[in-house]
Amino acid sequence: MKEGWPVRIALALFLLANITAAAAQPEQPALPCPFSNELLRHADGTVVWMKSKEMRLRAVRKVDIKGPVKQADIKATVIIDVLVDASGDVACLHTRTAHPLVKLAVESALKQWRFKPQTVNGRPVAFAGRLRFDLCNILCGGDGPSMTLLN
């Protein structure tokens, strides 16, 4: 009976390591809207999510927020998931976090953005990304005020 313990312990440690590794995998965010066309994916089939910096670099036309919200005395972080179609237009977006005073203005501006199309094997495909904007007109710290999406 004693000779089976090392094998059992090794098996238990192996299973525990695999469960821990699976739990540590970041959860794949849901797309901002239902989408059935071809999407940029990793080799394992999961959707590629571009980070905010990558999305900004791919933007070929940016539209800024307009109206009174630019003068609002607020400090807000806005995080929006964006699905860009194969032609580079915003197909849809989903706001994850936003101050209520800026949410609609940011969404309205982003719907007008245009991105450099993404290709796979020479064919354009849709892609997803998350944009983060730190907007501030009050108590902004060392960076100073910034109520723009264009930075």
Residue 24 clears pLDDT 70, i.e. is over it: no
Sign of CA dihedral 18, 24, 27, 28: negative
- Give the model's confidence band at 27: pLDDT under 50 very low, under 70 low, under 90 confident, else very high: confident
For domain 29-143, which architecture applies?
2-Layer Sandwich (3.30)
- For strand 118-120 and strand 123-125, is the pairing parallel, antiparallel, or unpaired? antiparallel
In the predicted model, what is the mean pLDDT of the chain? 87
**Higher-confidence position of 133 and 22:** 133
Read off the pLDDT of each residue in 65-81 and give the average, rounded to a whole number: 92
